[in-house]
Every structure is written in C-alpha cells, then in structure tokens.
Amino acid sequence: NDGDGDSDCNDSDCSAGPPCFFTCGPSGDGSYDFHVVELPDPVLSWPWPSTNSPTFYVDDYLDFIVTASDYASPITPQELNDQLQAINDNEVPTQPTWSGDWNGDGVIDYPPTQEELADIIIDGVNVGFLLDGLAQRELKVGVVELSEGESFQTADGDVYPGHQIILALEDPYVGVFPLFLHLPLGDGPFPVVQALPGHFETAEGYRDIHNGAAYPGQGFALATHSPRAYDGYTAEDLVTRTMLLNGFTMVAIRMYEALLVRKLLHCRPDIDPTRMGLIGHSGGSGTANLIVRVEDSYQALVTDRTNQYWNWVDGILQDETAPELYPWNTVINDFTTVEGTDILVTWYGYQVPLVDSDGLPMVNAGEYVYDEIFSYFGYHLGVGVSP
C-alpha cells in the first residue's frame, strides 16, 4: 500500500508496508524459474460456503481425479481393502533400520542415500508428475485481505507487531486454497518459516493455537496454508479413498500444496529463499518429514510427530494413508539419515507436560518450548544467537 490511507494492492509505488504479492515473470529466453501470476479478478469469496471452512471442502480434490487422469492407476475397492487389511493384520513387514547387508548380496542396504529414499517416496505416493514442472507451472495468486498499519490481531483480539496478508493460491491441479503470510516490520528480505497445520486446523487456527502470531516479532516471516478436506472423518475419508482407488494419494497432494507455497515465497522480494525453515504439527509433521527427504532447500525442520503413513480406524481413512509407503515408515522416521536439513523433534503441538531437573512441573512450559523453537530457527536461519 502506498500510504494514502487505503489498504490497496494495486499501486505502482508501494512505499509503505509490504507488497501484497509479487509475480515472477519469464526470463530472457521466455522460460520461467518460478511461474507466478496475479489472479485476473479480485478474490471476494472462497469456493466453500461462508458458514463452513476449508476443513470440510472436497470438490477440488474430486476434480483432481479428472484433471490428473493421465497419471491414474485405478484399483478395485476390494483390492484397496485387501491392502489395508494386510497392513492392519501385521502381514506387511517394515524395512529394517540397522546398518548392513540386508539380503546377503554383498551390498550395504542401510542407510539408503538421500536420492534413493527420495525416489522411493516419490514413487510410493505418486507425486512425481506433480513435481515435474512444478516451478514452471502457472500458479495464480490473489489478495484477500491486508492488515492495517503495523500490527495485526488474532481471533481473540490480541495484537501483535507485523503485517498479515491473506492470499488465495490457485493451481490447475489442486484448485484454490488460502495462505496466511505474516511479515515482520521493515523491508526485509526476511527468513521464513513455513508451517503445516494438524488435523482440524486452518492457517488462522495455527496462528492462534501454536504461537504463530509471535513469529514476526522474533524476526521471522511465517507462511501457513489451510489444508482442505482435513476433518479426520467423512470428508477426509472420501478424498483419501477416492485418491487411493485411482492410484493417487492425499499424501502427494499435501506435499505438493506445501511446495506450491514454497514456490510463491521464492517470488517475494521481502522473503529470503536462502533462509527457509519448516515446522509441522501432527499430520502436518507427517508431510513435513517427507518434504525434507525430497526437497533440500529447507535449512531446518521442527517436527512433533513421526508417521506410519497408514491410518485406518473404524473404517475411516485419514490422508496420510499410502500403502506403498507404509513399509518404509521406519526408515523415513530415522531422522539421522536426513541430509541437508537439520531437525528438531519437540512435542510442542501436543502440550506434553514438561518437568524441571527436580521432576516438578515446569512453570511457563509453553513459553519454554516456543523459546526453544525460536532459538533453533534463529540459529539455523541467521536470526539471534545459537541455542
């Protein structure tokens, strides 16, 4: 906004406040390093009803089955049930995590290289065709809302320093989804932490529940998108089951959407793409743990959960279910084999009681955990001092 008193995003001279969006144009030869353009029309509403939330929205994912039909490998409901039942009955072994020659062929089988495990993950969730051309595929971005002045509010009315920009991202495969971008005061470029919420959470919920609003005051931008069909029940079961029956996985979708956000962040002049962190909660951690196996541009990851990549309870499927990835979950969860990204495991999202050296409940345990997280990201992203 140009300081004329209006929160507008169409000014040619944005001298006050952050830019609302930034497009990445073609290079000299006409190719795109990152292809991001402005949505042609203002974003006045979301595809889901105003009384609802993206948590229960399924339409874009059902459309995905048609859009991506060239990459489908359909199976029957009975075949899917047999896969799930075999895992449930412990008939599917997991890969061992001891170093050595597993099959006696004279070759050390563990640990696999980063590239080998990345290929296993990409094939196991069928995300390869989405990753191919991701940077050059057109991503449309529109502004939904921009906070006023030098502060923003949470849903409870608490005020925090910084800027809040709500964006709509539109991709030809996965449709439209919201992104909350929180920026420190000043010009930047700022280090950024990308947050992946847990089940039932939106970007707004992550901001308010997991201290997200405090990131700008600590010197970090925070980028959080709202997952759709994320209710842990009927909506999520519908899209997960539909994907699996067509040879796709919701795991791939979750990974892809997170990488679309990363793509957008590379296009903003107020973001330093060489200083990027990732934080996940619950189901978001399951996704984040995979992303750092296939994308090495994140300097640091905070995760509060490992994942079996299988969740089938009382007939309900959750989005992390990927039968072909399940055998590798113990290998994926061995963070000592991750290359290029430092990892902090802390149960920040589950409010696990902390105790002091005398075994007594720790006063202000929540503040302690977030201080640890901010210090950790600060060290790895060049803000503050070593933890």
Measure CA of the first residue to CA of the last residue in the chain; give whole Å.
37
The token pair at 360 is 């007594």
What local confidence, expressed as pLDDT, does residue 359 receive?
59
pTM score > 0.95 for this model? no
Domain boundary assignment for the chain: 36-381
Burial of 384 (0-12, 13-18, 19+ CB in 10 A): middle
* Distance of alpha carbon 76 from alpha carbon 367, whole angstroms: 50
Q: Please give the radius of gyration of the chain, using alpha carbons only, rounded to the nearest integer.
A: 21
3-state secondary structure of 277: strand
3-state secondary structure of 182: strand
The token pair at 24 is 């990445």
What local confidence, expressed as pLDDT, does residue 367 receive?
61
Mean pLDDT per segment of 10 residues, for the chain of length 387 residues? 44 49 58 78 82 89 98 98 96 85 78 91 98 93 91 95 96 97 94 96 94 96 97 96 98 98 93 96 96 96 94 94 96 92 86 55 58 94 67
The total of other beta-carbon atoms located within 10 Å of residue 354's CB is: 14
| Annotation: CATH topology of 36-381 | Rossmann fold (3.40.50)
What local confidence, expressed as pLDDT, does residue 10 receive?
43
CB 333 within 8 A of CB 94: no
* Distance of alpha carbon 143 from alpha carbon 82, whole angstroms: 45
CB 57 within 8 A of CB 227: no
* Distance of alpha carbon 169 from alpha carbon 160, whole angstroms: 25
* Distance of alpha carbon 249 from alpha carbon 17, whole angstroms: 40
What local confidence, expressed as pLDDT, does residue 313 receive?
87
* Distance of alpha carbon 223 from alpha carbon 226, whole angstroms: 10
Taking CA atoms, 251 is separated from 154, 159, 325, in Å, by 30, 35, 10
DSSP state of 366: H
